[in-house]
Chains A and B, each alone.
Chain A
């Protein structure tokens, strides 16, 4: 029996993780196994957790505005460990102008505030099915 495994990570110095927890619970309620690593993770911690847990997808929640510097560092740590094939999505407060920049870095999808959780669930199912 196989389950979709997702890692929800919060890199950087955000003060709270309500949004990340909402997404984590929604994915769990959709039948997935969600590894939640908590606040203030370094890019290396997130990549290492994704490797050890053999997740199908990684989601990053970033509210601090530091996404343009954090995301490349997470990607670099994933590359270092040979796991950059794991699809990456980003949620949080991301200005529209930055979305294409993140996608150019290799992020598969970006979800802004207020994205219905069902949208995220559908995305994860789709990207894993590929």
Chain B
């Protein structure tokens, strides 16, 4: 068993796309081979620019990602796309349809597209999305676009997984601007109003400008610093327009993405964000290791029993978690 992972790793590093695809599955499924591969590959990660694309379903994220990818290809940049769609809570299955909107790219050698189901993970991405991005980073894709599920509400987890977050808005989605006020603004580095071919896009654009204090009366255009990092005070969130259908605004969006990376590096914020990603990786693995250890020491049912007890309100989650930890420490002490 353990002999297979290194060969897949070597093959994937050598440009074997099927080996890469299989590695991504192993990582996504949380297998021992997947973990072993990640361990081998991690030292090679950290170079890629990871860009999250978020926004409500139907805003045109997939279409825009496809066209944006074409724009980056035109600039000679290789890239990978990770597109997350929701898993049905009823069946556990998922319909992964984002590729449908990216058809122009499907045979381009410089692009690798991978669809992922959220598999019950909240926050608009899958639990393994970060690991999948890490593998794509390690094998040398310098740019990784991550399209989130887009559930119409703030999906702040993408900010933990990406250096740059692009929020895609579209006209006629009503209370989306509320969502913007309510928190998405906090995580957006770039805002783009897609479907600019629709005349109503102007109204959306104006509402966003107003929400960000960027209307004319505010004096100058650059008055809305990102609230995310201290040092992001030097970054004025660009508010762009695009029509993915009519191929408009794509170069400007690609420029803004590249400018944001340059800005992060110039200001030192790049290191801050890298630290945030490193923290997300450590915390994710800490949680996985802890759960695995609990299962080994206390038996597979212990965590499930605690969940059941909390569900029935026989226990509160604080006591349940504390009890599990105490039992684990006792079991470790007896060893």
Point out residues on A near B: beta carbons under 8 Å.
1-3, 5, 24-25, 27-38, 41-42, 44-45, 48-49, 51-54, 81-83
- Is the C-beta of B22 less than 8 angstroms from some C-beta in chain A? yes
Partner of B103, one of A1, A38, A51: A38
15 residue pairs A–B, Cβ–Cβ below 8 Å: A24-B95, A25-B95, A27-B93, A29-B90, A33-B115, A33-B117, A35-B99, A37-B106, A41-B106, A42-B107, A44-B106, A45-B103, A53-B21, A53-B114, A54-B18
The stretch that binds A, out of B23-31, B154-162, B173-181, B281-289, is: B23-31
Q: Which 10 A-B pairs have the closest CB atoms?
A: A28-B93, A38-B100, A54-B21, A45-B106, A31-B92, A31-B93, A54-B25, A35-B96, A44-B107, A28-B95
Decide if B21 touches A29 in the complex (CB within 8 Å): no
In the bound complex, what is the Cα–Cα distance between A76 and B91 (angstroms)? 34
| Total of A-B residue pairs, C-beta within 8 Å | 88
Decide if B25 touches A34 in the complex (CB within 8 Å): no
Decide if B117 touches A36 in the complex (CB within 8 Å): no
In the bound complex, what is the Cα–Cα distance between A82 and B19 (angstroms)? 11
Decide if B21 touches A31 in the complex (CB within 8 Å): no
Residues on the A chain within 8 Å of B221, using CB: none
Interface residues of B in 1-50 (CB under 8 A from A): 17-18, 21-22, 24-25, 29-30
User: Chain B binding site: helix, strand, loop or mixed by DSSP?
Assistant: mixed
Residues on the B chain within 8 Å of A33, using CB: 87, 93-94, 96, 115, 117
Residues on the B chain within 8 Å of A1, using CB: 29-30, 119
Shortest B4–chain A CB gap in Å is: 14
Shortest B90–chain A CB gap in Å is: 8
Decide if B107 touches A48 in the complex (CB within 8 Å): yes
Q: Which residue of B lies closest to A83 (CB)?
A: B18
Residues on the B chain within 8 Å of A27, using CB: 93
Residues on the A chain within 8 Å of B115, using CB: 33, 35, 53
Residues on the B chain within 8 Å of A5, using CB: 25
- Is the C-beta of B265 less than 8 angstroms from some C-beta in chain A? no
Decide if A49 touches B94 in the complex (CB within 8 Å): no
Residues on the B chain within 8 Å of A48, using CB: 106-107
In the bound complex, what is the Cα–Cα distance between A83 and B19 (angstroms)? 11
Shortest A104–chain B CB gap in Å is: 26
- Is the C-beta of B113 less than 8 angstroms from some C-beta in chain A? yes
Decide if A81 touches B93 in the complex (CB within 8 Å): no
Decide if A36 touches B88 in the complex (CB within 8 Å): no
In the bound complex, what is the Cα–Cα distance between A27 and B24 (angstroms)? 22
- Is the C-beta of B122 less than 8 angstroms from some C-beta in chain A? no
Partner of A52, one of B21, B87, B92, B119: B21
Beyond A1-B29, A1-B119, A45-B106, is A36–B96 a contact (Cβ under 8 Å)?
yes
In the bound complex, what is the Cα–Cα distance between A28 and B106 (angstroms)? 23
Knowing that A38-B100, A38-B103 touch, tell me 15 more A-B residue pairs with CB under 8 angstroms.
Answer: A1-B29, A1-B30, A3-B119, A29-B93, A30-B93, A31-B92, A33-B93, A33-B96, A33-B117, A34-B95, A35-B96, A35-B115, A38-B99, A45-B106, A53-B96
